[in-house]
Amino acid sequence: MSIATICLIIVLIFTIILMYLMNVRIRQLEHELSKIKSQVALADDELTRLSHDIIDFKKLRF
């Protein structure tokens, strides 16, 4: 084997490892995104309820 072949094999192995690590990081970010989306959905529901409560309170007029 020539030195060029060995260098190319090392570069290929390095890129495969790098791709694997990037894939793991993408999965982590997707998991975090799903958690954030659920929190935003809860906040959205709470905001809707709060706005309805305010409207109902304005209708009471003491």
* Whole-number Å distance between alpha carbons of 11 and 9: 5
Per-residue pLDDT at 54: 87
Per-residue pLDDT at 16: 98
41-46-50-51 Cα dihedral, nearest 10 degrees: 10
Helix (H) or strand (E) holding 31: helix 3-60
4-9-14-18 Cα dihedral, nearest 10 degrees: 120
Per-residue pLDDT at 62: 61
* Whole-number Å distance between alpha carbons of 40 and 34: 10
Rounded average pLDDT per 10-residue block, the chain, 62 residues: 95 98 98 86 78 84 66
